Every structure is written in C-alpha cells, then in structure tokens.
C-alpha cells in the first residue's frame, strides 16, 4: 500500500489555504480591480521614465514617482474624466435617442418589408430595447463612486510599485514557478501588449473620433461633441466600433427628414472614417506592436464583462498571455 508523505500533505494543505485566501481577497476587491489593473498598466508605461529620472538625472525616488503620478493624472485621467462628464451629462439623452434610433430603424424595416413581403418589425420590441439600454446606462452612471475609489487605490499602489521596481522584479523571479527565460518572454509580451492597447488603440480611436467630428460639423449633426465621444469609444472595438457612432446618427438624422445630411454622414463615415481606421491601425499599431484584430476583438468581449472599461486593455492582454503560456508549455513539455 502506497502512503502519501506527510510533507506532501502539508504542502497541499498550504496550497489550499493560499487558494482560499486569494479567492476571498479577489472576491472582495473585485469592484476595485480596475484600480489594481490600472496601477499595473501605468507601471509598465512609466517604469522606464522612472528609471531615467532616478539613474540618469539622480532624482530621489519619491520625487520622481510623485512627478510621474501628477503627469499621468493631467495627461491621461483629466481627458478621460472629461469624456466621462460628457457621457454622464447625456445619460437621459442617450435613452431618449435610443428610442428614436429604434423607431427610425423600424421605419426603414417597414419599407424593406413592403418590398420582400416578410414581417420583420413585429420581432422588435422598442420598449424592451430602450429599457435595457437605459438600465445599462444608469448602471454606468451609478458606478462613479467605485471609480473614484479605484483611482485612489490605483495611485496608492502605483506609487509603491514605482519606488520598489527592483523588489517587484525579484519577487516575480522568486515566486513564479517558471524558468527565468520564460518569465522574460511573458514580461516582453505583456509589455508590448500593454503599450499597444494602452497607447496605440486609444490613439487610433481618438483620431477616428476627430475625423468623425469633422464630418458631424460639416453635415450639421445635432450635438456633435456627444457623438464624437460615442464614436471614439466605439472605435476601441475592432470591426464594429465605427458603426456604434455613425449608424445611430444616420438613423436619427434620417428620421428627422434630413435625407441629404443622413446619407452624407453615412457615406462619410463608411469611406473617410473607415479609411482612417485602416490607415492608422496599419501605421500606429505596426510601429508599437503587431496585434491581430481578432485578439483585440476577443479580448474586448472577454475583458469588459470581467474588468469594466479597462477590460479594453486587459482583455486582449489576457488572451495574449494565454497564447504565450501555450507556447511556453509546448516548448517545455511538448515532446
């Protein structure tokens, strides 16, 4: 009869305790997980600057860290906060516009039904769709308090990560059960993906939003700044992002009887904004990192339900790390 060694039993018991304790911590901190992930993102983006300030310019670590925190707040968080205020002040307008968009869509479908002889419109419940959208938007507005806590937590963690760079790197080497080479491979993959998703994709989305804003102004679209924000956020999602901003504008404008402006903005959005998307993704993302659009799309679908808005960054990162782990497993144990 084979006996299990007491040391192995103690090891399994300790591992179970670690998993149980870690699960409890994760469950309780999940509403503020965006702060932890945000700290990790900013750390990856700022650590080289931190190294330059402390090594090349001989700044004190605390002064360098505080300077970088203030810089990130002014350059990144204030514009994001402005986006949030624009959208937050327009919550009721979005709900009202969603109903208008659905009614306009039903009108278009009615015209199509007369041509094909199929009753499609009966399957669209305008009230149910509007209620669903309104509820989701109210949930976004109600998460403001958690967002402020997450931002505070993010900067608190980020400060200590920046002033303890060497200890953090050593901790990864000591506690992750992988070879140093594989840890370096994952680190490079994570760094390149974070740069791509935190810098490249937002830059592409912002450029698309600006190009779309020009079109909204040219065709005299009502409330162009709001639709600029919607288009910019939608552009973060590959393949379907632009339509989130352009198609509702087309339907609303068409329902108001402005046929020329409606078709004008649709053609402009499809041709000009769509071309901008292709050119900028080809240029900017190739410069930063060659991320396949399918990885970004699947990552967004996975990341946003898990992490909230920051899942746009960490969803693709999660998918990429999964692929890297498969490659490492195949390299070490495939034979």
pLDDT tens digit sequence for 163-213? 988 887 777 777 777 777 777 777 777 777 777 777 777 788 888 888 889
**63-79: average pLDDT:** 86
Distance CA 266, CA 305 (A): 30
CA of 17: how far to CAs of 5, 6, 13, 174, in Å? 19, 17, 6, 20
DSSP state of 3: -
Are residues 46 and 66 located together in one domain of the fold? yes
Comparing 11 with 313, the larger pLDDT belongs to 11
Q: Write down the mean pLDDT value for the chain.
A: 75
Number of Cβ within 10 Å of residue 223's Cβ equals: 16
**1-17: average pLDDT:** 80
Q: Which residues contact 248 (CB under 8 A, 6 or more apart)?
A: 97, 101, 227, 230
Assign 121 a pLDDT band (cuts: 50, 70, 90).
very low
Q: Say whether pLDDT at 120 is over 70.
A: no
Residue 141 confidence (pLDDT): 47
Are residues 107 and 220 located together in one domain of the fold? no
Instruction: Report if residue 205 sits inside a domain.
Output: yes
Among candidates 305, 227, 135, 137, which has minimal Cα distance to 235? 227
Assign 83 a pLDDT band (cuts: 50, 70, 90).
low
Among candidates 63, 44, 323, 24, which has minimal Cα distance to 185? 323
Instruction: Report if residue 95 sits inside a domain.
Output: yes
Domain span at residue 246 reads 181-335
Range with lowest mean pLDDT among 99-108, 125-134, 144-153 = 125-134
Instruction: Report if residue 12 sits inside a domain.
Output: no
Q: What percent of the chain has pLDDT over 70?
A: 70
Assign 96 a pLDDT band (cuts: 50, 70, 90).
low
Distance CA 168, CA 156 (A): 15
- The domain boundary, picked from 159, 175, 191, lies at 175
Instruction: Report if residue 1 sits inside a domain.
Output: no
Are residues 44 and 164 located together in one domain of the fold? yes
Tokens 């403001």 appear where?
144
Tokens representing 14 are 């300790």
Are residues 170 and 199 located together in one domain of the fold? no
Instruction: Report if residue 247 sits inside a domain.
Output: yes
- The domain boundary, picked from 175, 207, 223, lies at 175
Tokens 């402009």 appear where?
268
Instruction: Report if residue 26 sits inside a domain.
Output: no
Q: Say whether pLDDT at 47 is over 50.
A: yes
Among candidates 166, 316, 159, which has minimal Cα distance to 238? 316
**pTM of the predicted model as reported, rounded to 2 decimal places:** 0.70
DSSP code string of 50-99: HHIIIIIS---HHHHHHHHHHHHIIIIIHHHHHHHHHHHHTHHHHHHHHH
Alpha carbons within 13 angstroms on the beta-carbon side of residue 71 total 12
Residue 325 confidence (pLDDT): 74
Assign 100 a pLDDT band (cuts: 50, 70, 90).
low
E strands of the chain, at which residues?
Answer: none
Comparing 251 with 129, the larger pLDDT belongs to 251
- The domain boundary, picked from 142, 175, 208, lies at 175
Range with lowest mean pLDDT among 89-103, 146-160, 202-216, 308-322 = 89-103
Are residues 248 and 149 located together in one domain of the fold? no
Number of Cβ within 10 Å of residue 60's Cβ equals: 11
Instruction: Report if residue 4 sits inside a domain.
Output: no
Distance CA 307, CA 68 (A): 25
Instruction: Report if residue 96 sits inside a domain.
Output: yes
Are residues 330 and 255 located together in one domain of the fold? yes
Are residues 171 and 110 located together in one domain of the fold? yes
Q: Could you tell me how many helices (H) and strands (E) the chain has, helices first?
A: 17, 0
Buried b (16+ CB within 10 A) or exposed e, 186-197: beebbebbbbbb
Q: Say whether pLDDT at 128 is over 80.
A: no
Tokens representing 248 are 């509702």
Q: Which residues contact 91 (CB under 8 A, 6 or more apart)?
A: 137, 138, 140, 141
- What's CA 326's distance to the chain center, in Å? 24
Assign 73 a pLDDT band (cuts: 50, 70, 90).
confident
Number of domains in the chain: 2
């Amino acid at each position: 009869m084979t006996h299990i060694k007491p040391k192995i039993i103690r090891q399994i018991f300790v591992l179970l305790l670690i998993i149980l304790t870690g699960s409890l911590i994760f469950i309780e901190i999940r509403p503020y997980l965006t702060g932890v992930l945000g700290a990790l993102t900013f750390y990856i983006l700022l650590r080289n600057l931190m190294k330059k300030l402390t090594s090349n310019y001989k700044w004190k670590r605390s002064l360098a860290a505080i300077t970088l925190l203030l810089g990130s707040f002014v350059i990144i968080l204030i514009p994001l906060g402005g986006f949030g205020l624009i959208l937050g002040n327009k919550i009721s307008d979005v709900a009202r516009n969603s109903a208008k968009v659905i009614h306009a869509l039903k009108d278009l479908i009615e015209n199509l039904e007369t041509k094909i002889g199929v009753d499609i419109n009966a399957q669209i419940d305008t009230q149910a769709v509007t209620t669903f959208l309104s509820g989701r938007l109210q949930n976004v507005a109600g998460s403001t308090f958690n967002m402020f806590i997450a931002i505070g937590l993010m900067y608190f963690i980020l400060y200590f990560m920046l002033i303890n760079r060497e200890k953090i790197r050593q901790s990864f080497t000591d506690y992750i059960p992988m070879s140093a080479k594989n840890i370096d491979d994952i680190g490079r993959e994570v760094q390149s993906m974070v740069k791509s998703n935190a810098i490249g994709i937002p830059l592409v989305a912002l450029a698309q939003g600006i190009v779309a804003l020009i079109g909204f102004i040219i065709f005299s679209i009502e409330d162009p700044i709001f639709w600029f924000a919607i288009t910019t956020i939608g552009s973060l999602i590959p393949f379907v992002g632009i339509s989130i901003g352009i198609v509702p504008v087309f339907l609303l404008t068409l329902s108001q009887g402005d046929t020329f402006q409606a078709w004008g903005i649709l053609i402009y959005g499809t041709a000009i904004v769509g071309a901008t998307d292709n050119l900028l993704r080809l240029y900017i993302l190739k410069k930063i990192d060659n991320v396949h659009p399918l990885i970004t799309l699947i990552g967004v679908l996975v990341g946003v339900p898990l992490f909230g808005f920051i899942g746009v960054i960490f969803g693709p990162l999660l998918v990429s790390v999964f692929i890297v782990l498969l490659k490492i497993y195949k390299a070490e144990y495939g034979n």
